[in-house]
Every structure is written in structure tokens, then in C-alpha cells.
Amino acid sequence: MALELAGNSRETEQIVAFIHEHKSKQTDPFCAYLHHMPGLRTTANNRVQSLPEFCRLFYAVKANSEPHILQALAPIVHGFEAASLGEIVKIRQAAPDSPILFGGPGKTLEELEGALRHNVHLIHAESIHELNKLNAIAQRHGRMVSVLLRINLRGPLPAATLAMGGRPTQFGMDETQIGQVIQHVKQLPFLRVEGFHFHSLSNNLDAGEHIKLVQHYIRLAGEWAGKYGVELNYLNAGGGLGVNYADLDAQFDWGAFVSGLENEIRKDMRPETALLFECGRYMTAASGYYAAEVLDIKQNHGRHYVIVRGGTHQFRLPASWQHSHPFEVIPVQEWEYPYDRPAVEAVHVTVVGQLCTPKDVLAQDVPVKQVRAGDIILFRYAGAYGWAISHHDFLSHPHPGHYYLEPSPVSVT
């Protein structure tokens, strides 16, 4: 079973062939997101199939909520995690019957109503006020609503790029308030607590640490369930499985993670408890690419700048995380213009977009053999938190193409 975080070379070859074919048909500079759909399905399938039977894998749609992605994943994953009513609606359009988990701080009355209307399976409650609101709505609908209590644990927790828990944040309820929260929710007759939700970090690269974290969750949830007499039908361990953008060959070790679930976690699970994961980045990053044509190359204060069509208004991830995003140069031989073709060889380049801000940097000081105007910069691992988190209309440049490569490619522009 191919369990590595894909980005494999056959897939990349197909993407490159598609770019060449497409670029030759258009006069505008090439700029597009490309999704390798068979790659996405195969990886998702392998992950779901390899999990022990007490686990469920949900897709956290905020990483990439494009309809094609949701439709492709719907028959594979156990369900979806939504963070807004808008996401719930998108999921329902792609997957009318899939289980949905609904979380996130500051849920409005309208969103909670909408969640019931769209048959959300579990709601992650983030505060006592939210529990009160939800109970009132459930009462109005005359039905019981199942909730998981989202808990922000006291640290220290393993390090990762983003920490939602183990430190002060707007997420979840403080671990030290758990007794008080459960006492309170027991007074709310329309709510049924079915377990706990933890999503403490994002982009964790260490499978062993992640197993330890899940073990910690299981131990605490078991203690609370016993001490306060609540059901433990679900323990949601969140997402946060990472992508190593700095070293593509050292990815999160899924095989070790699954072994950890079998060998370290299984023995601690109660028979009635399902262990849920709601992964975003780890599901869609690898099969997505952002391809941008080189418009100009210049030297400024001793540095080489490669300016591409597009930029961080379309692919904000590297600016948001202040990292240099991995890319390769796809050479394009044709040059049909009567003037010189800008080019550099054997230098370090900084790849930037077309925005009027020095923050519009996609990759920094990266050695390249050769790059010329008209070549394509192909950014890998761009399928999650790329287009989805970007401010598309800043500067009003045209949007990139969006291509979903199937045996016969589907294009949405």
C-alpha cells in the first residue's frame, strides 16, 4: 500500500504534461491550481482503509472546500468537519447523507439552527453560552441534540506550527472548568453529551508525538467520563497531522501512526468509544499544485527576484506561515518574442508575485539551475490552505484557473 504522503513523480509528470498542453493553447500567462484527483482518492482511500476499526476519518473542509474535492472525498471518508453554516451547506451539496461534525468558536443562533436543519451529527460546544443557546434551539425543535465538549487542555503539549490548545486561545473550554461545565450541561434537558473534542495543534510532523497526544486525550476523557458520569461514545482527537514543507522527503509517518493506534491506543479504548480524526491539510495538500508562469526576472540589491503571474493573493500559505514554499521549475522551450528572454543560471532566487507589497513572497533564496521568463514555477503541496485562505481580489488581478485532473480533465475557470 502506498502510504507516503504522495506527491509522487508519476503524478507530477501528469501534472506537467497537462500544463504544457494547456499553456500552448493560451496566450495569457499560465496560472492555475491543479488537483490530481486519482491521487487524492487513492491517498484518502489508503488512509481510511488502513485505520483500525475503532477509528473514523473525517475531512475538515476548511482546508479546501471546492465542490470537486468534497464530491471526490464523500464516498471515501467517514464524514466531514464543518466550521460554519456556509461549509455545512457546501458539504450537503456534495454529500447529502454524510455525517457532519460542526465546530468553531462563536456559533450564531442561525448557524446552530442551520446545523439542526441540515442534520449535523455532532456539535462541538465551545462554551457554556453556546450550550445554553443550543439547548434553547433544541427545545424549540422538540428534539435532543448530541454534543461533544471541546476542551482546551492545560499544557505542555507537543510543538507544532500552530497551537490551538495547551495555551490561552479562543478555542474550547479550559480543562480546569470541566467539572463546572458538565454540572451545567446536566441541567440542559435537550442536550446529550456524548464525549469530548480536542483539536490542540496543527501541522504536527511527528507520528510518535501524535500517538502520545491521543493517549493523553483518551486517559483524560476516560477519567472525566467516570468522575462526572458522562457517556463516551466519541472521542474526537481533531486534525493536525502535518505536511513537511521544508523537507518533502521527511513526511508524517502514517504507517507508524497506524501501528501506534493498533499497539498503543487500542488497549486503552473502551468498546463503546469511536475515535474520530478530522484532518484537513493531511488529506488535500499533496494532490494539489499551484503553477505560475515567470513574468520577469531581475536583480535588486544583489538578490535575484523571479516574478510570477499570481502571488500570495492566490496562494497565501507561504506568507501566512512565513515559510519558503517548495517548488520546481518546469522549463518551457518556446520563446516567440523579438526581445531578449530574461534568464538566470546557478543562482539563488526569491519567487514573488504581482502584488505591491514586499510580503508577496512565495519562496525565498532557493538555489535553481536555470529559470527563464516563460518557464513555470510549480509549487507542490498546495492543495490545502492555498486558495481557501487567500484574499483573491486584492489588486483585482484575474483569478487562476482551477483544474481537476481526471483521466479526461475537468476544468473550472
Q: Which residues are catalytic?
A: 356
Give the nearer residue to ligand PLP in terms of CB position, either 242 or 353: 242
Q: Are 128 and 149 a contacting pair, CB within 8 Å?
A: no
Amino acid letter, residue 155:
G
- Which one, of 216, 352, 366, lies nearest residue 297 by Cα? 352
Sequence-distant (≥ 6) Cβ neighbours of residue 56 within 8 angstroms: 78, 79, 274, 275, 276, 277
**Cα separations in angstroms, 330 against 32, 297, 313, 349, 371:** 14, 15, 22, 15, 9
Q: Is 342 exposed, middle or buried, given 0-12, 13-18 or 19+ CB atoms closer than 10 A?
A: middle
- Which one, of 410, 386, 409, lies nearest residue 399 by Cα? 386
Q: Are 134 and 126 a contacting pair, CB within 8 Å?
A: no
Measured from the Cβ of residue 397, the count of other Cβ atoms closer than 10 Å reads 17
Distance CA 381, CA 379 (A): 7
Smallest distance, ligand PLP to C-beta of residue 256, A: 18
Smallest distance, ligand PLP to C-beta of residue 273, A: 18
Smallest distance, ligand PLP to C-beta of residue 153, A: 14
Distance CA 184, CA 197 (A): 18
Which residues contact ligand PLP (rule: CB under 6 A)?
Answer: 60, 62-63, 81, 83, 103, 199, 202, 238-241, 278-282
Give the nearer residue to ligand PLP in terms of CB position, either 280 or 353: 280
**Cα separations in angstroms, 305 against 7, 86, 296, 315, 369:** 26, 39, 8, 18, 14
Give the nearer residue to ligand PLP in terms of CB position, either 83 or 362: 83
Smallest distance, ligand PLP to C-beta of residue 294, A: 30
Bond into 331 cis (ω within 30):
no
- Which one, of 268, 275, 259, 245, lies nearest residue 208 by Cα? 259
Give the nearer residue to ligand PLP in terms of CB position, either 98 or 354: 98
CA-based radius of gyration for the chain: 23
Name the grid cell of 352: 514573488
Smallest distance, ligand PLP to C-beta of residue 160, A: 8
Q: Which residue is nearest to ligand PLP (CB)?
A: 239
Smallest distance, ligand PLP to C-beta of residue 370, A: 35
Distance CA 205, CA 263 (A): 20
Distance CA 324, CA 351 (A): 9
Give the nearer residue to ligand PLP in terms of CB position, either 81 or 194: 81
Give the nearer residue to ligand PLP in terms of CB position, either 294 or 317: 317
Amino acid letter, residue 295:
L
- Which one, of 62, 64, 76, lies nearest residue 35 by Cα? 64
Give the nearer residue to ligand PLP in terms of CB position, either 104 or 353: 104
